[in-house]
Structure 1
Amino acid sequence: METVTRANGAGASWYNAVWRWHFYAGLFCMPFVLWLSVTGTIYLWKPQIEVWQDRAYDTLPVQAPRAAPDRIVATALTAVPGAHLSKYQLPVSPNQAVRVLVAKDGVETRVYVDPYRLRVLNSVREDGRLMKTISALHGTLLAGAPGSWLVEIAACWTITMLLTGLYLWWPRGRKGLGGILYPRWRSGRRLFWRDTHAVAGIWVSVAAIFLIATGLPWANAWGGYLGAVRTATGTTDGPVDWKVAGKPDAHAEHRGTAMPAAEPGNLDAVVATGARLALAPPVLIAPSGADRWTISSDSANRPERSRVTVDAATGRILDRRDFAQRQWIDRAVGYGVAIHEGAFFGLANQILGTLVTALLATLSVSGAVMWWRRRRPGTLGQPPRLGRPRYGWSLAGTIAALGVAMPLFGATLIGVLAVDRLATLRRR
């Protein structure tokens, strides 16, 4: 958002127009980028945070005998009278309390059961857990579908901000890499903020655009748009493996709806089958009808997920669906989501994601400081209009492609252009 002198003519007019769009996009996006950077960073470290939160339930003394799964579920149901079994999570070690998810009136409660002494250690509503709250703050601002739309609009315009920023940053006859690839922090306060903003932008832009794009499948409008694309291309392959904000989860057994009650002894055989499958944890077992159960990996690394259907009476495997068997579009989204959440390549993925969010926050803060220092009191501080630039077919095609790829961006762009045009006419 720095004032840059350019030669008169079409080049100056075009550069100025890009700068104005960069300014408006940045002014709108900055608070959202900061918010999403903070909440996204916290969520990146979800595995470590949840291990720390549940540490008291993962160091139980091992005793004999260990209660059967059916008895563990019966104990868990006493914590929420009138509830039914939603999911049974296979423990990953003998010292771990068994997590049983029970549901009542559409609300899931996580119950921690000591499998040796058959007692409830704790119970907490699923939607009240810390990381569930962070996820909702990140994706919907705790405002449901309207919040998701607002976050999606901000995400789309952040891509615009990054692309226009790259154009403004592009070296034009400058010598040296100072202020381009590394900041010149000893050249005065003005250059300090300018270089911090420009260099942070160039290093983070590609990764940030990828991060934003891989987060769009969760958004309300774009998630629905993706569903329409799946249908139109014939790549619909059952329910999606991610939750679209503001819409119910397509997996009925995974949202706590009433299912036929499990018969005594059924769960024991199914748990034994699940233990033999060695799926990526956490492994969830859920009733899926009067005569079937599902055993599914809920791993944050989506490519590791599998879903197995077994016979309720015997635990015999009836069907298995692995990630590699899904349609290409679902696999592509799955890889993107795994990287977005910091789960695809372990700790390095988390560190890289944190670096990206830190640079995005730096970009927003430095841009805000530059704007505040430059603006005159009582004005918005937007770049002055130097003339009406000419828009070539290549640019128009690029904007149209972005509008098709991100429908909310296209819709809001039309609105912004209309407002800008009316404001220009009024000034004239």
Structure 2
Amino acid sequence: MPAALGTRWYNAVWRWHFYAGIFCMPFVLWLAITGTIYLWKPQIESWLERPYDRLAVTAPRSTADSQVRAALAAVPGSSLHKFQLPQSANSATRVIVSTAAGDVRVYVDPYSLRVLKVEQEGARPMRVISDLHGTLKAGNWGSYLVEIAACWTVVMLLTGLYLWWPRNARGLGGILYPRLRRGRRGFWRDIHAVAGIWVAVFALFLISTGLPWAKFWGSYFQEVRQVTNTVDGPQDWPTGSAQTAAMMGDHAGHAAMSMRHEAPGVSELDRVIATAYPLGMAAPVMISPPARGDDPWTVASDAANRPLRGQATVDGRSGALLSRKEFAQRHWLDKVVGYGIAAHEGALFGMANQLLGTATALLLMTLSLSGFIMWWRRRPQGLLGAPVPAQRPRFGFVPAGAIAILAFWMPLFGATLLIMLMLERTVFQRLPKVRGWLGLKAHGAA
């Protein structure tokens, strides 16, 4: 490649890296902070719920149906949505009931039938963190915004790798480890570059495994699966607004969980429980009543480590096990997504997974903050401070193909890229003050 053409490409990549970074920086910080909190969900929820898992065994245990009736009485006008199998004799029973305003979790003492706590599912601390992380608590529009930021973070990371790639470098200083005696500007440049190279692969993995939850990408993925005939039963993860997912239940694809149900018969739930316990499903195990009177009950593991999940149907009248499906029996695409989500949430391989996720989040925060400091220190007064555009380079097969692949993989990236290019050529170029602030040339920019 001639030197002049290489310089043009470097300059063009630098400009898009700059724009992507300016836009993504606040989102990266927000997602890293909320994501780190959510990584430690098991420990946080165990601490928050410890008062309800240390009950004294004071009397014979009441029937499950009696516990459900106590929960329904505590929330007038509600109907049974899910019954969570208690994990020990000292655990309060968690009964999730449906109301017009959403699902409500009721904690019931299984011995005295005393209601210990009533709370909205959507108001539970880790549900709030999940909603802040995935949708900014702004519903599906927030999901779209987070997805756009995720797409451009991919661009930021890939262009950063191009800029980082060693050119006539001597040694590994500034490439794999920071040089600490190069003054402030050199220090922050090295911190930014080194944090980027160490975090890039893990960050790209986190973004890829988070996309199935996004409203647009998740729907796009579902459509692709419909076209390619790779759908195999209900989807095991929510798409879009976490609030909507909370109202539908964690297994949002199961029809019985999106409907209101009447209180079950006295004996049916206890029969189902007697069948469910020997199945040995990973906790928490949720039992859902039938959508219609003759339909079976559903028993499903809601384990954070999704490869441990399974689902079964049970005849409430006889207690007979009608069907059972394990994670290993799902379509390979569901298994890939399941492993990815489990790793994303820090649940796939225990605390080591949580620590790795936390380290990735800390490196992403370091990347964002160092980039902000570099920009703040050298920005021209009154200007955005984008790199000055050079003559536009010619688009060859490789860059055009890379952009096409990214646009196919992340349609919102392709759409927003086209919008930005159109705005630059039809609006920004016609407004001298805006053009000057952005650092654009009068006849186009790279």
| C-alpha deviation, 1:177, in angstroms | 0.8
Which residue is 2:434 aligned to? none
Which residue is 1:280 aligned to? 282
Q: What does residue range 384-423 of structure 1 map to in structure 2 within 5 Å?
A: 384-422=388-426, 423=428
Q: Does the CA contact (< 8 Å) of 1:261 and 1:290 recur in 2?
A: no
Q: Which residue of 366, 369, 376 corresponds with 1:365? A: 369
| CA–CA distance in structure 2, aligned partners of residues 180 and 329 of structure 1 | 36
Which residue is 1:144 aligned to? 139
| CA–CA distance in structure 2, aligned partners of residues 189 and 377 of structure 1 | 20
Which residue is 1:118 aligned to? 113
> For 1:234-256, what per-residue CA distance to the aligned partner results, in whole angstroms no more than 9, with x for missing partners?
1111221000013663334334x
Which SS does the other structure have where 1:387 is aligned?
Answer: coil
Q: What does residue range 99-248 of structure 1 map to in structure 2 within 5 Å?
A: 99-105=94-100, 107-246=102-241
| CA–CA distance in structure 1, aligned partners of residues 256 and 43 of structure 2 | 27
> For 1:94-118, what per-residue CA distance to the aligned partner results, in whole angstroms no more than 9, with x for missing partners?
1111111111225211111111111
| C-alpha deviation, 1:425, in angstroms | 7.4
Which residue is 2:257 aligned to? 254
Q: Does the CA contact (< 8 Å) of 1:108 and 1:125 recur in 2?
A: yes
> For 1:170-222, what per-residue CA distance to the aligned partner results, in whole angstroms no more than 9, with x for missing partners?
11111111110001122211111101100000000011001001000010110
User: Is 2:356 aligned against 1:352?
Assistant: yes
Unmatched runs of 5 consecutive residues or more in structure 2: 246-251, 432-441
Question: Which TM-score applies when normalising by structure 1?
Answer: 0.96
Which SS does the other structure have where 2:80 is aligned?
Answer: strand
| CA–CA distance in structure 2, aligned partners of residues 178 and 35 of structure 1 | 30
Q: Does the CA contact (< 8 Å) of 1:306 and 1:320 recur in 2?
A: yes
| C-alpha deviation, 1:147, in angstroms | 0.7
| C-alpha deviation, 1:84, in angstroms | 1.3
Which residue is 2:63 aligned to? 68
> For 1:61-120, what per-residue CA distance to the aligned partner results, in whole angstroms no more than 9, with x for missing partners?
123311111111111112101211111101111111111111122521111111111111
Question: Which TM-score applies when normalising by structure 2?
Answer: 0.92
Which SS does the other structure have where 2:179 is aligned?
Answer: coil
Aligned residues: 421
Which residue is 1:322 aligned to? 326
Unmatched runs of 5 consecutive residues or more in structure 1: 1-6
Q: Does the CA contact (< 8 Å) of 2:80 and 2:262 recur in 1?
A: no
Q: Which residue of 27, 49, 53 corresponds with 2:22? A: 27
| CA–CA distance in structure 1, aligned partners of residues 199 and 257 of structure 2 | 36
| CA–CA distance in structure 2, aligned partners of residues 218 and 403 of structure 1 | 18
Which SS does the other structure have where 1:86 is aligned?
Answer: strand
> For 1:7-64, what per-residue CA distance to the aligned partner results, in whole angstroms no more than 9, with x for missing partners?
9611111100010010000000000000100111111111111111101111111233
Which residue is 1:4 aligned to? none
User: Is 2:11 aligned against 1:11?
Assistant: no
Which residue is 2:436 aligned to? none
Which SS does the other structure have where 2:172 is aligned?
Answer: coil
Q: Does the CA contact (< 8 Å) of 1:260 and 1:290 recur in 2?
A: no
| RMSD of aligned Cα (Å) | 1.4
What amino acid is the match of 1:263? G
User: Is 2:303 aligned against 1:299?
Assistant: yes
| CA–CA distance in structure 1, aligned partners of residues 21 and 254 of structure 2 | 38
| C-alpha deviation, 1:279, in angstroms | 0.2
Which SS does the other structure have where 1:132 is aligned?
Answer: helix
Which SS does the other structure have where 1:124 is aligned?
Answer: strand
Highest RCO, 1 vs 2 (Cα 8 Å, sep ≥ 6): 1
Which SS does the other structure have where 1:344 is aligned?
Answer: coil
| CA–CA distance in structure 1, aligned partners of residues 421 and 404 of structure 2 | 14
What amino acid is the match of 1:318? L
What amino acid is the match of 2:285? V
| C-alpha deviation, 1:284, in angstroms | 0.3
| CA–CA distance in structure 1, aligned partners of residues 60 and 263 of structure 2 | 26
| CA–CA distance in structure 1, aligned partners of residues 266 and 74 of structure 2 | 19
Which SS does the other structure have where 2:143 is aligned?
Answer: helix
Q: What does residue range 88-107 of structure 1 map to in structure 2 within 5 Å?
A: 88-105=83-100, 107=102
| CA–CA distance in structure 2, aligned partners of residues 165 and 398 of structure 1 | 15
Which SS does the other structure have where 2:62 is aligned?
Answer: coil
